[in-house]
Amino acid sequence: MYFPEYRARRLRRNDTLRRMVRETFLRPEDLIYPMFSAYGTGIKKEIISMPGIYQQSIEHIVAEAQEVYALGIPAVILFGIPKVKDAVGSDAYSAHGIIQETIRAIKKAVPKLLVITDVCLCEYTDHGHCGVIIDGDVDNDSTLDLLAREALSHAQAGADIVAPSDMMDGRVAAIRAILDSNGFSQIPIMSYAVKYASAYYGPFRDAAESTPQFGDRRSYQMDPANRREAFREAALDVAECADFLMVKPALAYLDILRDIKERFDLPLVAYNVSGEYAMIKAAAARGWIDEERVMLETLLGMKRAGADLIITYHAKDAARVLKGA
């Protein structure tokens, strides 16, 4: 097919034609909304580096969860800011920790909204790392028991899906074993299978108050330069019975999303992270970009690259636009 007989513009002539031949679609049902639950009452504190996103006490979290469900977004993912942090992140696996109580409150008020929980220790440790510190580094194997206990406590509180984000070797298997042996074999694991040591996480650390007090996370999160390593990480989690795979961040790793989609048949999640969100918000605030169009184009790009679901701070704004379209 060559010009002038073939003209690609024929199928772009008007909106109806463009919609008829559209290859990739973005729906509210594809989105997951992150929320930050803070210990206390009467708390609704906007995160300076993430306009429109808040640290909130449980009563405000519940109100926003109701809003999320009304917009057609099927799920939220919860992160916690506890009253007290300690060396082993005790609040993470306490029966009455901040996340456990938040789960109960949401499931009581909005029972059909799926509650996903981030399973990690960084939000709960006083040193800000994702596990137990031994000899100045995160000790992998002693951390596994605490992560498993955390996931079990979330399931017992009513979580629908648990999502380990710590990047410890063997954590999916440890979580699957403890869930299955305690009567929670029906609870899926959404593994942060491919999580890079990224500079795009900066605003999240403001939101979750989880900045490491020493060093960094490069001994357990992946090197941004590596592609083939992502296949090994994902394969390990598949072998350990993960139910979803995730790539985090998304925007600078669209090639990895496509790679994982082509190699594995599990549902694939992209995490549109805090730095990606903040860049759009900051540029839009200065009038440099059309926020709505760039937001939708960014999310659509993640879907086109292979994501089945997208965790995004844009979820509510995107759902409003998509429902109105």
What amino acid positions are annotated as catalytic residues?
A: 195, 248
* Structure-block tokens of residue 291: 């926020």
At position 68, the amino acid (one-letter code) is V
Q: Where are the alpha helices (DSSP H) in 58-201?
A: 58-70, 98-109, 140-157, 171-181
Sign, CA dihedral 158-161-166-168, equals: positive
Q: How far is CA 29 from the centre of its chain?
A: 15
Query: Residue 93 burial (CB < 10 Å; 0-12/13-18/19+)?
Result: buried
Three-state DSSP at 304 gives helix
Please, which residues bridge with residue 244 across strands? 190
* Structure-block tokens of residue 216: 């960094």
